[in-house]
Structure 1
Amino acid sequence: MDTLNPEELKFFVESVRHYFKVLSKQEPAITSAYLATSDLDGFEFNGIVTFSGSYNGHVIVSMPPQLLKELLLLQGETDLSENNLLDAVGEIANTLGGNARKSLGSALQISVPMKLQGASGIKARVRKHPYVITLKWNHQPALVCIDMSKR
């Protein structure tokens, strides 16, 4: 399997920026982008989309509850239950997956997002060192883990 090239990685950074800018009119600050050398400490709410076809792997969006609550309130949503927070992080992961298909080609197959609650460690399954983007939006931290390779 081949690694992602710099343009493909840049696409994910720009996709995260674009998502927040469209939703909130405020871009997040990308605080780092790096190759993880160990398991990652994620946040309480996680959305995961799995890729197959021309690429193999998954993207994990991990966010704390306060960030998700603020995003829901911006959308006029008043139900800030844990189920709604899980739905929100799953939708963000799904949106990033859909954007990836536009950029990486129609042969990319994307799963329905999985939604997990709990701040457990994020483990790489495809790459020894997955790509990680950390960000802050409205003073709230988040991360996106890109654990995928070309077939």
Structure 2
Amino acid sequence: MAQHVFNLNAHWPGGRNDSGTIETQNLQTKISIPPEMDGPGIGTNPDEMLLGAAATCYIITLAAMMERSKIEKIDLKMTSEGYVDVTNGVIIYQKIIHRPVVTIKHDPSKDISTLLQKLATKAEHSCMISRALKGNVEVEAILTIKNG
């Protein structure tokens, strides 16, 4: 098994309420503390980036599992929510909920619906980011199936 190394360059020239930048091979953005945590809200923030990493990994994993299972989809969309608790100055990323919506070509049979539900759960357990968060952040998937 080959090891993959991903690189990120970060620059933070100021203090707590300033902003900085991050840059990877395919991402360049400003960063700061979000306004919900009394920051300036410039660019993105660690909370959004963690949610983005979890959502991206999950939706790609689910799409790959559907493809391997020969489920023909018209579309796959998703919203995700990240729940962060701040109590007495302690910040805890508590939970992520993914809400994938799969549109398939025909009226979903019970067998397809059952398989899609299993895949939605399996993708959550198989995603590399979900596995990295396990034991620290609860991750849940709530699937909706539509027919096209």
TM-score > 0.5, shorter chain as reference? no
TM-score range, shorter-chain basis? 0.3 to 0.5
Report the TM-score when normalising by structure 2. 0.37
Report the TM-score when normalising by structure 1. 0.36
Over alpha carbons, which structure has the higher Rg?
2
